[in-house]
Structure 1
Amino acid sequence: MADKTNFTAEEWTLLLESPMIAGMAVTAAGPSGLWGLLKESFAGGSALTEAITGANTNPLVKAVVTDFSGSEGRSAARDGLKEKFAASQPSDLKVKAIDSMRQVSALLDEKAPADAAQYKARLLQISQSTAEAATEGGGLFGVGGVQVSEAEKATITEISRALGS
């Protein structure tokens, strides 16, 4: 099983960023207002909490989430995300996020093949949880909206393809 020592600092930062990027791609696909954004962000955080407490969670996933839980890991992820997305227009966020998922997939396949499938499945689950967190469209408070928009479904499919799932 792979851990932090199997990766360079840059590669580990990419893994630290990956759960947030998986959620960002879905959020960027179908913005659902401030309340929806908060719900979608919370869903991503809940998925991380579930990952660290789950008995059957892959050790590499646990290592990433544990490191992210500390201030050094969070800072590395935050700084990496700023560098990656700072100059981006909202329309570019999804494209860049999907490209990052491709990079994560290639990295896992190369350096952690035994852990790759489970790690990628966790990223896909984070994407799905994010999409399901807020009702899309509809009127006041999302009444009449849909749980997962067509744009979000398409983005989850793109993430799945990028991860080679």
Structure 2
Amino acid sequence: MADKSTFTADEWALLLESVMMAGIAVTAAEPSGLWGMMKEGLASSTALLQAKSDGANPLVKALVADFETSEGRTAARDGLQAKLKGAKAADMKARCIETLQQARTTVEVKAPDDAAAFTAWLYQISQRVAEAAKEGGFLGFGGVAVSDAEKATLSEISAALKIA
């Protein structure tokens, strides 16, 4: 069972970043306005809280526990700022997906027994963010639950995480 001690400081920071990037990729694919972005952000946070309370994989629980510390949040925030600084939405999405792929590779090498649960969890975060706010409606009416751009991004995330 992997935990923070299994990884170098840089690798652990990458894993923390990947948790945030899983949701940001979907939001960048089709920004939903202020309310939509708030709903999508809450969906990502809810996934963290749920992993804490359910029977999540030990690596996932270790990541969630680190987000509860100022050190963990700072590492994730600093990594996000460094990787996404100055990026436009399309470039931001590509950088997020690249980070997810790097995180998957890192876990496959360092903690292969945890890789499937870790990547499934990241994908679940992306899926929840995609479903959090309707796209293309007006004042909450109409629109679709998951837009074509979000579906395409979910497909790219699935490929990056090697989820069948």
Structure-2-length-normalised TM-score: 0.97
How far is the alpha carbon of 1:139 from its aligned partner?
Answer: 1.6
Which residue pairs with 2:157 in the alignment?
159
Which residue pairs with 1:72 in the alignment?
71
Which residue pairs with 1:86 in the alignment?
85
Alpha-carbon distance in 1 for matches of 2:86, 2:138:
33
Say if 2:29 and 2:89, in contact at 8 Å, map to a contact too. Answer: no
Alpha-carbon distance in 2 for matches of 1:80, 1:140:
35
Q: How many residues align?
A: 163
Alpha-carbon distance in 2 for matches of 1:138, 1:79:
34
* 4+ runs deviating over 2 angstroms: none
Measured against aligned partners, the alpha-carbon deviations of 1:58-95 in whole angstroms (never above 9, x if no partner) come to: 00000011011111100111011111111212221101
Which residue pairs with 2:21 in the alignment?
21
Which residue pairs with 1:41 in the alignment?
41
Measured against aligned partners, the alpha-carbon deviations of 1:83-130 in whole angstroms (never above 9, x if no partner) come to: 111121222110111111110111011001000000000000000000
Alpha-carbon distance in 2 for matches of 1:140, 1:80:
35
Which residue pairs with 2:11 in the alignment?
11
Alpha-carbon distance in 1 for matches of 2:106, 2:26:
22
Measured against aligned partners, the alpha-carbon deviations of 1:137-159 in whole angstroms (never above 9, x if no partner) come to: 02222x11000001101111100
Alpha-carbon distance in 1 for matches of 2:156, 2:90:
15
Measured against aligned partners, the alpha-carbon deviations of 1:8-65 in whole angstroms (never above 9, x if no partner) come to: 10100011111110000000011110000000000000000000111x2000000011
Letter in 2 for 1:155: T
Letter in 1 for 2:9: A
Q: Secondary structure at the match of 1:91?
A: helix
Which residue pairs with 2:126 in the alignment?
127
Which residue pairs with 2:95 in the alignment?
96
Which residue pairs with 1:118 in the alignment?
117
Alpha-carbon distance in 2 for matches of 1:4, 1:140:
44
Q: Which runs of 5+ in 2 are unaligned?
A: none
Alpha-carbon distance in 1 for matches of 2:59, 2:39:
27
Letter in 2 for 1:126: I
Structure-1-length-normalised TM-score: 0.97
Alpha-carbon distance in 1 for matches of 2:62, 2:53:
12
